[in-house]
Amino acid sequence: MGEFLLRAMLGLLARLPLALNHAVGASLGWIAWVLPTRLRRVSLANLARCFPERDAAWQRRVARTSLMETGKALTEAPWLWRAGPQRIRGLLRGMEGQAHLDNAIAEERGAFLVSPHLGSWEFAGLHLATLGPMTSLYRPPRIRTLDGLLRASREATGARLVPTTPGGIKALRRALERGEFIGMLPDQTPKGASGVFAPFFGHPAYTMVLLPRLAAPGRTPVLFGFAERLPRGGGYRYHVIPASEELYDPDPQVAAAAVNRAVETLVRQCPEQYAWSYRRFSRKTKGNEANEM
Query: pLDDT per residue over 71-98, tens digit each?
Result: 999 999 999 999 989 999 999 999 999 9
Average pLDDT over every residue of 97-120 = 92
Q: What pLDDT was estimated at residue 289?
A: 44
Average pLDDT over every residue of 135-148 = 76
pLDDT reading at 109 higher than 50 = yes
- Measured CA distances, 153 to 19, 24, 161, 246 (Å): 21, 21, 10, 35
Residue range 264-282, pLDDT digits in tens: 999 999 999 999 999 999 8
Average pLDDT over every residue of 178-206 = 92
Average pLDDT over every residue of 211-231 = 96
Higher-pLDDT residue of 138, 87: 87
Q: What pLDDT was estimated at residue 275?
A: 98
Q: What pLDDT was estimated at residue 291?
A: 44
Higher-pLDDT residue of 66, 154: 66
Average pLDDT over every residue of 139-148 = 71
Give percent of the chain above pLDDT 90.
73
Q: pLDDT band at 251, cuts 50/70/90?
A: very high
Q: What pLDDT was estimated at residue 2?
A: 63
Listed residue (239, 120, 101, 91) closest to 185, CA to CA: 120
Listed residue (220, 272, 283, 259) closest to 116, CA to CA: 259
- Share the mean pLDDT of the chain: 91
Listed residue (186, 179, 173, 185) closest to 105, CA to CA: 179
Residue 147: how many other CB atoms lie within 10 Å = 15
Q: What pLDDT was estimated at residue 150?
A: 74
> Helices 144-154 and 56-83 sit at what angle, rounded to 10 degrees?
70
Which helix or strand (DSSP H or E) is residue 197 part of? Answer: strand 195-200
Q: pLDDT band at 290, cuts 50/70/90?
A: very low
Listed residue (247, 199, 203) closest to 223, CA to CA: 247
Q: Which residues of 211-228 are buried (b: 16+ CB within 10 A; e: fewer)?
A: bbebbeeeebbbbbbbbb
The letter for the amino acid at 168 is G
May I ask the CATH class of domain 2-273?
Answer: alpha beta
Average pLDDT over every residue of 40-51 = 98
Map out the domains of the chain as residue ranges: 2-273
pLDDT reading at 214 higher than 70 = yes
Residue 139: how many other CB atoms lie within 10 Å = 12
pLDDT reading at 157 higher than 80 = no
Which pairs with CB-CB distance under 8 Å and at least 24 residues apart come from 14-17? 14/78, 14/79, 14/81, 14/82, 15/82, 16/79, 17/233
Average pLDDT over every residue of 23-31 = 98
- The rounded distance, in Å, linking the Cα atoms of 246 and 244 is 5
Q: How is 38-89 classified by DSSP, letter by letter?
A: HHHHHHHHHHHHH-TTS-HHHHHHHHHHHHHHHHHHHHHHHHHHHH-HHHHH
